[in-house]
A and B are shown apart, each in its own frame.
Chain A
Amino acid sequence: MLGFIARKLLYLMPVLLAVSLLTFLIASLLPGDLAYVILGDQATPEKVEALRHDMGLDQPMWWRYLGWLGHVLQGDFGRSFRTGQTVLQAVTERLPVSIELMALAEIIGLAIGVPLAVACAVRSGSAFDRFMTGSAFGMLSVPTFLSAILLIYLFAVELRWLPATGYVPFQEDPVGNLRFFVLPAVTLALAEWPGIMRVLRSDMIATLQEDYIAMAKAKGLKPSRILFVHALKPSSLTLVTITGINIGRLIGGAVIVETIFALPGIGRLLVGAIYTRDLIILQGVVLLVAAGFVIMNFIVDMLYAVLDPRIRYGHA
């Protein structure tokens, strides 16, 4: 078991390093001389030169990279010249919003996808199954922003049940907070459930063929127990992987939804940083998001071992 973890960790390190390097490169390549941008109207060649020297921008790239990396490893991700916030402050401010969105989206997606998958697996081949599978496939072809528009049109414009944009923190107004999150979370969930449903359904169909399910039936166990204890657990491996990867992806990738629904999350922070050429924020946040994704994958691999005891003890 320990060997398993150690090997995975060993692979993790170079990937994280490469991620940091790539992040730095991308940020550095953004045009618009940073000093110019900061000084704005007051830019004169001398001032620009002076500021560049102050900020260390006249150093060679590899030097700047190492300096940045050194700071990062000590927990110092830098400070935005625009807002004066440190990267960590900006992130901790925005992170709860993104996490809430992502968690709600995944929960709703699972709430739709898992029961449907189980129902379809049991009735595999029936008209219900074919209809649901077809709908899942169709849903996958609907881009996120399309669902967003549709939901906004239906619920905000026509029915006026829910607000189209806006945000209020949970601590201030729990109900209001959730109201603002309904449409964005459902939009994302609509994109999540087909993947979840397809994967779980196909795994369950395979599991239901197994001898141990026939055995469970021969033991006279209740159908609900057979389904949810005997069949669901061995089928959920791929589902866990997919969910883990989805969550990792959603942290940085809910850009579109956050922008459309005006939610102050990480996605919007990044888009803003690109616009204002706020390199420090950009570098720091992209690194955190990418690293988070890589670590998430690592956790999912670990979860695999927990779910399937055969992997844990070295059998397969």
Chain B
Amino acid sequence: MLSVENVSVDLPTPRGNLRAVDQVDLTIGAGRTLGIVGESGCGKTMLSRAILQLLPKKAKLSGRVLFDGQDVVRLDRERLRRLRGRSLAVVFQDPMTSLNPVLTIGTQLIETLQEHLELDSVVAKRRSVELLAAVGIPAPEQRLMQYPHQLSGGMRQRVAIAIALSCEPKLLIADEPTTALDVTIQAQILELLAQLREKFNLAMLFISHDLAVISQVADRVAVMYAGSLVELGSKLDIFQTPCHPYTRGLLKAVPTLKTDRALSLPTIEGTVPPSHAALPGCPFEPRCADRVPDCGKALPPLVEVAVGHWARCPVINPTR
């Protein structure tokens, strides 16, 4: 369905070149969900923008992004436009800013339907009401006339999901869709996404910094750090047998019911490197407790430590 091949994104800034995404390879099969997890600034959003071809004007992208067999990067504007919204849809993090505040919900739903499916306004309106009902919004007819600010956060995100799924896309990119919502609403939205995924056999790219959410949603998980993919594997692989010091650190830092409350929470020492410092070796090396001298010399390659499980760390062996 989606194949990201050796994609890098460079951003020229006044202080030098910033490598936001460094040689990332990913695949997503039809109907499967890939979760991308990582801290802010690790490049996960840039990666999603690269797939959508919505990068800032000055950004330079190298590599291929194959969607349904077509290289999205080389596609001409018109075909790209027809792809977006129709086969490839996106839900952004903050529905207050991703919905246009001066247009009604109805307009924003109907225009997508009319653009891609060429429905007439009556049919489009009816379909919009159905969509709103499908995402669990009460009184959908009235909602069509309302403006985004008149709805609560959770409802707005449901509307965003309705818009994204209106033309029955093959792939949905969800960029931190629940981060701006409180926990109970978050659960509802995740539940909704799971249902819709079932119903439409939707492939999903789910981006989040929240490990708990990822563990609920994803079939496969990719861990990113400072622009690089550091580990990739099935949900079980990542959560039960992590093979990268960063992944391990992340999992250790999550408090559970069994965590001893007398001790302070484990953290990963140090901070994310300033974006412009282009380190020759492993990006995590300065903070890694398991590092060896070789780590700083060259970027370790992604190695298949088990079937379908890849990690970028030669130092660790998988613990079984």
Contacts and interface: CB of A to CB of B under 8 A. Distances in A.
A313 B90 CA distance: 29
Label chain A's interface by main secondary structure.
helix
A218 B103 contact: no
B103 A221 contact: no
Contact of A220 (B92, B98, B100, B116): B116
The winner among A218, A221, A225, A309 for most chain B CB atoms within 10 A is A218
A229 interface: yes
A7 interface: no
Given A210-B97, A313-B149, A308 B102 contact: yes
Given A210-B97, A233-B103, A309 B92 contact: no
B101 A234 contact: yes
A233 B102 contact: yes
B111 A212 contact: no
B103 A222 contact: no
B101 A310 contact: yes
Interface in B37-87: 52, 54, 81-86
A47 interface: no
Nearest to A225: B111
B101 A220 contact: no
A215 B98 contact: yes
Nearest to A219: B85
B100 to A, nearest CB: 4
A283 to B, nearest CB: 44
A220 B103 contact: no
Given A220-B115, A222-B115, A230-B103, A212 B98 contact: yes
A234 B100 CA distance: 9
Contacts of B52: 218
B147 interface: yes
Given A210-B97, A211-B97, A313-B149, A221 B112 contact: yes
Contact of A221 (B94, B99, B101, B111): B111
Question: Which range holds the interface residue count of chain B?
Answer: 20 to 34
Given A214-B54, A308-B102, A219 B92 contact: no
B13 to A, nearest CB: 15
A219 B102 contact: no
B52 to A, nearest CB: 6
Question: Which range holds the interface residue count of chain A?
Answer: 20 to 34
Contacts of B111: 219, 221, 225, 229
B150 interface: yes
Contacts of B85: 218-221
Interface string B204-229: 00000000000000000000000000
The winner among B100, B101, B112, B116 for most chain A CB atoms within 10 A is B100
B82 to A, nearest CB: 6
B112 A313 contact: no
A230 B148 CA distance: 14
The winner among A211, A215, A230, A233 for most chain B CB atoms within 10 A is A215
B36 interface: no
B163 interface: yes
B101 A219 contact: no
A216 B54 contact: no
A298 B54 CA distance: 42
A211 B86 contact: no
A219 B116 CA distance: 9
A217 B83 contact: no
A234 B89 CA distance: 24
Nearest to B147: A309
Nearest to B57: A125
In the A-B complex, the 6 residue pairs with the closest CB atoms: A220-B85, A220-B84, A219-B85, A211-B97, A212-B100, A215-B98
Given A215-B92, A221-B111, A310-B147, 20 more contacts: A211-B98, A212-B99, A212-B100, A212-B101, A214-B54, A215-B99, A216-B100, A218-B52, A218-B54, A218-B85, A218-B89, A220-B85, A220-B112, A221-B112, A222-B81, A223-B81, A309-B101, A310-B149, A313-B147, A313-B150
Interface of A: 210-212, 214-223, 225, 229-230, 233-234, 307-310, 313, 315
24 contacts: A211-B97, A211-B98, A212-B97, A212-B99, A212-B101, A214-B54, A214-B98, A215-B90, A217-B54, A218-B84, A219-B85, A219-B112, A220-B83, A220-B112, A220-B115, A221-B81, A221-B111, A221-B112, A222-B115, A225-B115, A229-B103, A230-B103, A307-B102, A313-B149
Interface of B: 52, 54, 81-86, 89-90, 92, 94, 97-103, 111-112, 115-116, 147, 149-150, 163
